Structure 1
Amino acid sequence: MTSNQSHPKRQSEVIAPYGGSLVDLMLPKADQEKVKKNVRGKLECSDRNACDIELLVIGGFSPLRGFMLKDDYESVIKNHRTTSGDLFGLPIVMDTDREDLVIGDQVLLTYKGQDIAVLKIEEKWEPDKMLEAKGCYGTTSLEHPAVRMIAMQRKRFYLGGAVHGLELPKRVFPCKTPAELRKELPKDEDVVAFQCRNPIHRAHYELFTRALDADNVSKNAVVLVHPTCGPTQEDDIAGEVRFQTYERLASEVNNPRIKWAYLPYSMHMAGPREALQHMIIRRNYGCTHFIIGRDMAGCKSSLNGDDFYGPYEAQDFAKKYSTELSMDTVPSLNLVFTEEEGYVTAEHAKSCNLHIKKLSGTEFRKMLRNGEDIPEWFAFKSVVEVLRKA
Structure 2
Amino acid sequence: MANTPHGGILKDLYVRDEPIQAQLAAEAATLPAVTLTERQLCDLELILNGGFSPLEGFLTQAEYAGVVHNSRLPDGTLWTMPIYLDVDGAELARLGVQAGSRVTLRDPRDDQALAIITVADLYTADRAAEAEKVYGANDQAHPAVHYLFHKTRDTLVGGAVQAVNAPQHYDYVAIRRSPAEVRALFRKLNWTRVVAFQTRNPMHRAHRELTVRAARTRHANVLIQPVVGLTKPGDIDHFTRVRVYQAIMAKYPNGMAQLSLLPLAMRMGGPREAVWHAIIRKNFGATHFIVGRDHAGPGANSQGADFYGPYEAQDLVLRYKDELAIEMVPFQMLTYLPDTDEYQPINEVAEGVRTLNISGTELRRRLKTGAPIPEWFSYPEVVRILREANPPRDSQGFTVLLTGLHASGKEAIARALQVALNQEGGRSVSLLLGETIRQELSSELGYTKRERDINVARIGFVAAELTRAGAACIAAPIAPYEAARQIVRQQVSRVGGFYLVHVATPLEACIENDRAGVYKRAIAGEIKGFTGIDDAYETPGNPDLTVDTTRTSISQIVHEIILLLERDGYIGDR
Equivalent in the alignment of 2:106 = 110
Partner SS state of residue 324, structure 2: coil
Equivalent in the alignment of 1:166 = 164
Bigger helix share: 2
Provide the C-alpha distance between the structure 1 equivalents of 2:325 and 2:276, rounded to a whole number of angstroms.
14
Summarize the Cα distance change of 1:66–1:297 in structure 2 as closer, same or farther, 3 Å threshold. Answer: same
Summarize the Cα distance change of 1:75–1:303 in structure 2 as closer, same or farther, 3 Å threshold. Answer: closer
Q: Pick from 21, 26, 30 the counterpart of residue 19 of structure 2.
A: 30
Equivalent in the alignment of 1:94 = 85
The answer to whether structure 1 residue 146 and structure 2 residue 144 are counterparts is yes
Equivalent in the alignment of 1:247 = 246
Summarize the Cα distance change of 1:173–1:205 in structure 2 as closer, same or farther, 3 Å threshold. Answer: same
Provide the C-alpha distance between the structure 2 equivalents of 1:298 and 1:54, rounded to a whole number of angstroms.
24
Provide the C-alpha distance between the structure 1 equivalents of 2:210 and 2:101, rounded to a whole number of angstroms.
49
CA displacement at 1:313 relative to structure 2? 0.8
Instruction: Encode CA deviations 1:281-335: one digit per residue, 9 max, x unaligned.
Output: 1001101111110111112235443111111110000011112222211111431
Summarize the Cα distance change of 1:377–1:197 in structure 2 as closer, same or farther, 3 Å threshold. Answer: same
Q: Pick from 15, 24, 30 the counterpart of residue 6 of structure 2.
A: 15
Provide the C-alpha distance between the structure 2 equivalents of 1:168 and 1:35, rounded to a whole number of angstroms.
13
Provide the C-alpha distance between the structure 2 equivalents of 1:61 and 1:263, rounded to a whole number of angstroms.
12
Provide the C-alpha distance between the structure 2 equivalents of 1:82 and 1:110, rounded to a whole number of angstroms.
27
Provide the C-alpha distance between the structure 1 equivalents of 2:237 and 2:365, rounded to a whole number of angstroms.
17
The answer to whether structure 1 residue 189 and structure 2 residue 192 are counterparts is yes
Equivalent in the alignment of 1:3 = none
Greater RCO structure (CA 8 Å; 6+ sep): 1
Equivalent in the alignment of 1:4 = none
Provide the C-alpha distance between the structure 2 equivalents of 1:148 and 1:48, rounded to a whole number of angstroms.
14
Rg (Cα) greater in structure? 2
Provide the C-alpha distance between the structure 2 equivalents of 1:324 and 1:211, rounded to a whole number of angstroms.
22
Partner SS state of residue 356, structure 1: coil
Partner SS state of residue 54, structure 1: helix
Instruction: Encode CA deviations 1:320-365: one digit per residue, 9 max, x unaligned.
Output: 11122222111114311011122122234333x2211121211111
Provide the C-alpha distance between the structure 1 equivalents of 2:277 and 2:165, rounded to a whole number of angstroms.
24
CA displacement at 1:46 relative to structure 2? 1.4
User: Which is further off, 282-291 or 327-336?
Assistant: 327-336
Partner SS state of residue 350, structure 2: helix
Summarize the Cα distance change of 1:362–1:334 in structure 2 as closer, same or farther, 3 Å threshold. Answer: closer
TM-score where L is the length of structure 2: 0.62
Q: Which runs of 4+ in 1 moved over 6 A?
A: none
Residue 102 of structure 1 aligns with an amino acid whose one-letter code is: Q
Provide the C-alpha distance between the structure 1 equivalents of 2:179 and 2:201, rounded to a whole number of angstroms.
22
Equivalent in the alignment of 1:207 = 210
User: Which is further off, 66-75 or 182-191?
Assistant: 182-191
Instruction: Encode CA deviations 1:83-123: one digit per residue, 9 max, x unaligned.
Output: 01111110111110023222222211111113221111111
User: Which is further off, 237-246 or 258-267?
Assistant: 237-246
CA displacement at 1:135 relative to structure 2? 1.3
Unaligned 5+ segments in structure 1 are: 1-8
The answer to whether structure 1 residue 347 and structure 2 residue 347 are counterparts is yes
User: Which is further off, 96-105 or 197-206?
Assistant: 96-105
Equivalent in the alignment of 2:73 = 82
Residue 99 of structure 1 aligns with an amino acid whose one-letter code is: L
Are the equivalent residues in 2 in contact too, given 1:26–1:57 (CA < 8 A)? yes
CA displacement at 1:377 relative to structure 2? 1.6
Aligned-residue sequence identity (percent) comes to 37
CA displacement at 1:168 relative to structure 2? 2.2
Are the equivalent residues in 2 in contact too, given 1:38–1:106 (CA < 8 A)? no
Unaligned 5+ segments in structure 2 are: 390-574
CA displacement at 1:373 relative to structure 2? 2.2
Are the equivalent residues in 2 in contact too, given 1:54–1:168 (CA < 8 A)? yes
Q: Pick from 40, 51, 56 the counterpart of residue 49 of structure 1.
A: 40
Kindly report which structure 2 residues correspond to 1:226-265, keeping only aligned pairs within 5 A, or say none: 226-251=225-250, 253=252, 255-265=254-264
Residue 370 of structure 1 aligns with an amino acid whose one-letter code is: T
Work out the number of aligned pairs and report it.
Answer: 371
Residue 14 of structure 2 aligns with an amino acid whose one-letter code is: M
User: Which is further off, 197-206 or 377-386?
Assistant: 377-386
Equivalent in the alignment of 1:6 = none
Provide the C-alpha distance between the structure 1 equivalents of 2:251 and 2:216, rounded to a whole number of angstroms.
22
